[in-house]
Amino acid sequence: MTLRLGDIAPDFEQDSSQGKISFHKWLGDSWGVLFSHPADFTPVCTTELGYTAKLSNEFAQRNVKVLALSVDSAASHNQWIPDINDTQDVTVGFPILADEDRKVSTLYDMIHPNANATLTVRSVFIIDPAKKVRLTLTYPASCGRNFDELLRVIDSLQLTDSHSVATPVNWEDGDDVIIVPSLKDEAEIAKKFPKGYKALRPYLRMTPQPNK
């Protein structure tokens, strides 16, 4: 199954390092980041899950729940977590799904046979409170992911969902944004963007971030 942006993220019930998880119920009204790693007790994954734990407050401030996954067992996850805590100087507080039967991996197309027929690739899914997929990323096993970039994307999604803007290249929270081209009524623009805007072209109008 190939998931596209805007699709409803498949629901599932699966064991984890923190017990059974019914995915949609577990998400509730939160945003979610579901990400897979190839295997427990592997070096790149240890650094990734450690850094995710360090970002726990950042995710919480954005109303985001984080859920990791690999095809190892819940018992294996719970044996590995102390290594992550010790080597990365963190406390892993989020659950890690056990996907020994490949149920979730199959639902989310996380196993790519031409890369590895048995292990999950480094997949990432950002899911909104309506359970819609808003971002997908796939990395090779050898390349650790940039979780600061995931926070940046979440900031962009949450901003653009609530305001008539898009975020430009390399945007960071607090930078100027783009008024969407579909918004043309000057009175409405003045109401929504009281700080004004600079029109570099009729279709490229920069304005200060409206929620700052």
- Could you give the residue numbers annotated as active site? 45
Q: Which of 94, 101, 32, 24 is nearest to 70 (CA)?
A: 101
Burial of residue 105 (number of CB atoms within 10 Å: 0-12, 13-18, 19+): buried
In whole angstroms, give the CA distance from residue 87 to residue 16: 22
Ordered DSSP codes for 12-40? -EE-BTTS-EEHHHHHTTSEEEEEE-S-S
CB 51 within 8 A of CB 142: no
Element spanning 130, H or E: none
In whole angstroms, give the CA distance from residue 75 to residue 97: 11
Q: How many of the other CB atoms lie within 10 Å of CB of 140?
A: 11
CB 14 within 8 A of CB 113: no
